[in-house]
Structure 1
Amino acid sequence: MSISASPAASDEVATYVANRIGFIELERPKALNALSTGMIRVMHAALDQWREDPEVLAVVVRSPHARAFCAGGDIRLMYEAAQRGDQDSRDTFFTEEYRLNHAIFTYPKPYIALMHGIVMGGGMGISQGAHRTGGLRVVTQSTKMAMPETRIGLFPDVGASWFLARTPGAIGRYLAVTGETIGAADALYAGLADVYIDDEALPALLDTLRREPFERGADVVACIEREARAYQVAPLPEESALAGARTLLDRHFALPDVARILASLEEEHERGDDAAEWAEQTIAVLRERSPLSMAVSLEVVTRAEGSMADVLRADLDLTRSSFLIGDTVEGIRARIIDKDNAPRWRFARIEDVSAADVEKMFDSPWPANEHPLRDLRG
């Protein structure tokens, strides 16, 4: 097995080539591999170096640490920047993160994400694009997947709304608004994962990838698919919690705005039949989230019909408004910094959020010809 040197050194990310596969390994375990600007730059540099290299057939991104693949972006750093009034460092972080997400989505070689443990927020941004490259999104029994941003007054960014908009029925709308966590079977059912393998089998899979001869990127993918066939996710995707709730999700979350979703859930609860408990639990979740963020998140998924480039440009606009006039700074304070879990949201109730309030959040601070992501295509 030949190993070539890293294209960029970092204590938080290791990048190297072994057996004609480019490996990206996230090495920030104390922060559950939350992405810093430096990590994003190292990952992007590696992908750029390997893009045209004939000795790199495919890319594998993984975490050597059991608890998390990647828990998101470093929102504590974002909060500290907001407290300093440092808009530039925040814009730089999100611009570079979204450029990385786009580079993955449009990568010309199979990109494979081994998504064990926590896969949330920015972790979705560096994994979901694998589906578009001829690569794979691999989940395990420990996978905990979510876009939990409405809890902190943000929205599902990193281009995740593009994938949420393409899930069956109203699943993507439900996941965006509630921020609920799903497991491997749910992810497979929703089309947010491609194959399943047991956590215990990952070391052997990596050994095989570093040893077996490959001629093409497709051979690397076929090898993983072959190894995964020995394992069966439990429950089966069609028997997952998400599948079981599918009729209810479609009934309520297909409605055009969050106020109507909530009213519909309350009617369901009052009927007192088999779905009453599920409706009650879902109402409790919605009442805890940021009303403005829920409204914005539903709209983000509704608008994500176009290109990934368009989605990421809108995401960057929304990060600016979310921090300046939205609930994000207060949400991070309440959930992450002070941990009092008592956020004072801009709007007390979802019924108080108007369509104009939501529309204002989508205003871009940049003219189209000066947008930091204006050059992205596809």
Structure 2
Amino acid sequence: MTTAANDEAPVLRHVQGRTGHITLNRPRAINALNHTMVRLMDEALSAWERADEISAVLLTGEGARGLCAGGDIRSIHDDIKAGGGAASVAFWRAEYRLNARIARFPKPYVAVMDGIVMGGGVGVSAHGSVRIVTERSRIAMPETGIGFVPDVGGTYLLTRTPGELGTHLALTGSAVGAGDALLCGLADHFVPSERLAEFIAALADAEVGEAVAEYATTAPEGELADHREWIDACYSADSVEEIVDRLYNSGDRAAKETAETILGKSPTSLKVTLAALRRARALTSLEQVLDQEYRVSATAITAPDMVEGIRAQVVDKDRNPRWSPAELTQVTDAEVARHFARRDGDELGLAPEAAPR
């Protein structure tokens, strides 16, 4: 085993056999991503993409809690308050480009989505070609709870789930386990956590497909399939207000509880998220969607809810955000639309074709 960084580096990389192994290495922060980590991951992919002796890439997270809890939102909060968010926008530009690169990586990219995998953690794993979940996996795009909108290609992934499952996950921010991740197309294979070490060791010598065939097995049953009827019926509405109304009036207790969950999220984030999902359905490539998400993200930091949401969840931890505006009916169509406006001189520019306005 050769190590290209010391154990204190936020991203470790080494080679085992013919597999290049990337380890996210901020376990105390559940490996939350920052700009340096994105750069180090990109450098590793650049080196291994050209190396004939490397046939696959493996991504894991250090520590027992999870692969990656998302972007370092505490840093984003501080950056917005101190500098208006310029560093955060630069981070997203690099991060989204990495997400696209992972999706198009020419060699097998094996992501072990063990434990917590949220937000940016989904971006560096669920776009991979071989996505492994375990019974400990908890996968979510929880952005509406911090005054933000699903990004890192999340709106691309969530619009390609069966029925309206993706709309449900995006608006509620709910986490799913292995079975539901497989159902939603966020993962490919289930490997019991007790066999992960053997699976990873096997990748040194075996082809990826052979290792998967040996160690993957049937995942535990998920929960979402049993709720498909009310999920599809309620979330097909054209507005968040109508979705909430249908959930309350569906006659299903779980649906009513879901309505209450949604109403605790940022009203602006909810409306922008629904619009982003509906627009993403009309886009044909991940690159187009990432271009759209970049506009949305860079605009979201100019509204008050993101700083307030992170304050309530991470900084002060009072879990009592004061959203502005506080009601869904107070969020105007113009406010939603401005999140999708093209940015003069500051487009991500991943898609060569022009995206619909």
TM-score w.r.t. the length of structure 2 is 0.94
Post-superposition Cα deviations, 1:96-116, rounded to whole Å, max 9, x if no partner, equal 111111110111111110000
* Alignment equivalent of 2:328, drawn from 350, 369, 377: 350
1:223 corresponds to 2:211: yes
Q: Which residue of 2 is the match for residue 272 of structure 1?
A: none
The CA distance in 2 between the partners of 1:18 and 1:114, in whole Å, is: 16
* Alignment equivalent of 2:102, drawn from 87, 90, 104: 104
> Aligned-pair distance for 1:222?
3.1
Q: Which residue of 2 is the match for residue 88 of structure 1?
A: 86
Query: SS at the partner of 1:129?
Result: coil
Q: Which residue of 1 is the match for residue 275 of structure 2?
A: 299
The CA distance in 1 between the partners of 2:5 and 2:47, in whole Å, is: 7
Q: Which residue of 1 is the match for residue 337 of structure 2?
A: 359
Question: Quick check: 250-259 or 85-94, which moved more?
Answer: 85-94
> Aligned-pair distance for 1:268?
1.8
> Aligned-pair distance for 1:376?
4.9
* Structure 1 residues 102 and 186: CA distance shift in structure 2, 3 A: same
Cα pair 1:8 1:42 within 8 Å, conserved = no
Q: Which residue of 2 is the match for residue 189 of structure 1?
A: 183
> Aligned-pair distance for 1:10?
6.3
Query: SS at the partner of 2:37?
Result: helix
Query: SS at the partner of 1:156?
Result: coil
The CA distance in 1 between the partners of 2:250 and 2:89, in whole Å, is: 42
The CA distance in 2 between the partners of 1:376 and 1:45, in whole Å, is: 22
The CA distance in 1 between the partners of 2:263 and 2:124, in whole Å, is: 30
* Structure 1 residues 267 and 30: CA distance shift in structure 2, 3 A: same
Q: Which residue of 2 is the match for residue 371 of structure 1?
A: 346
Give the paired residue count.
351
1:340 corresponds to 2:315: no
> Aligned-pair distance for 1:5?
4.8
- Which residue identity lines up with residue 250 of structure 1 in the other structure? D
Post-superposition Cα deviations, 1:47-94, rounded to whole Å, max 9, x if no partner, equal 011112111111110113211110000000000111112432111111
* Structure 1 residues 106 and 38: CA distance shift in structure 2, 3 A: same
The CA distance in 1 between the partners of 2:286 and 2:239, in whole Å, is: 23
1:279 corresponds to 2:267: no
What is the 5 A alignment of 1:105-120? 105-120=103-118
Cα pair 2:5 2:12 within 8 Å, conserved = no
The CA distance in 1 between the partners of 2:263 and 2:14, in whole Å, is: 46
Q: Which residue of 2 is the match for residue 232 of structure 1?
A: 218
Question: Quick check: 58-67 or 118-127, which moved more?
Answer: 58-67
* Structure 1 residues 281 and 58: CA distance shift in structure 2, 3 A: same
> Aligned-pair distance for 1:375?
4.6
The CA distance in 2 between the partners of 1:86 and 1:371, in whole Å, is: 16
Cα pair 1:144 1:183 within 8 Å, conserved = yes
RMSD over aligned CA atoms reads: 1.8
* Structure 1 residues 303 and 374: CA distance shift in structure 2, 3 A: same
Cα pair 1:10 1:39 within 8 Å, conserved = no
* Alignment equivalent of 1:137, drawn from 131, 134, 137: 131
Q: Which residue of 1 is the match for residue 243 of structure 2?
A: 261
> Aligned-pair distance for 1:6?
2.5
Q: Which residue of 2 is the match for residue 247 of structure 1?
A: 229
1:148 corresponds to 2:142: yes
* Alignment equivalent of 1:312, drawn from 279, 290, 297: 290
- Which residue identity lines up with residue 32 of structure 1 in the other structure? I
Amino-acid identity (%): 37
- Which residue identity lines up with residue 210 of structure 2 in the other structure? A
- Which residue identity lines up with residue 329 of structure 1 in the other structure? V
TM-score w.r.t. the length of structure 1 is 0.89
Question: Quick check: 136-145 or 331-340, which moved more?
Answer: 331-340
* Structure 1 residues 263 and 153: CA distance shift in structure 2, 3 A: same
Structure 2: gaps spanning 5 or more residues: none
> Aligned-pair distance for 1:348?
1.8
Query: SS at the partner of 1:113?
Result: strand
Q: Which residue of 2 is the match for residue 321 of structure 1?
A: 299
Q: Which residue of 2 is the match for residue 157 of structure 1?
A: 151
Cα pair 2:134 2:193 within 8 Å, conserved = yes
- Which residue identity lines up with residue 206 of structure 1 in the other structure? I
* Structure 1 residues 332 and 55: CA distance shift in structure 2, 3 A: same
The CA distance in 2 between the partners of 1:315 and 1:204, in whole Å, is: 38
> Aligned-pair distance for 1:174?
0.8
Q: Which residue of 1 is the match for residue 308 of structure 2?
A: 330
- Which residue identity lines up with residue 244 of structure 1 in the other structure? D
Q: Which residue of 2 is the match for residue 176 of structure 1?
A: 170
Query: SS at the partner of 1:259?
Result: helix
Moved >3 Å (runs of 4+):
7-10, 375-378
Query: SS at the partner of 2:322?
Result: coil
Structure 1: gaps spanning 5 or more residues: 270-274
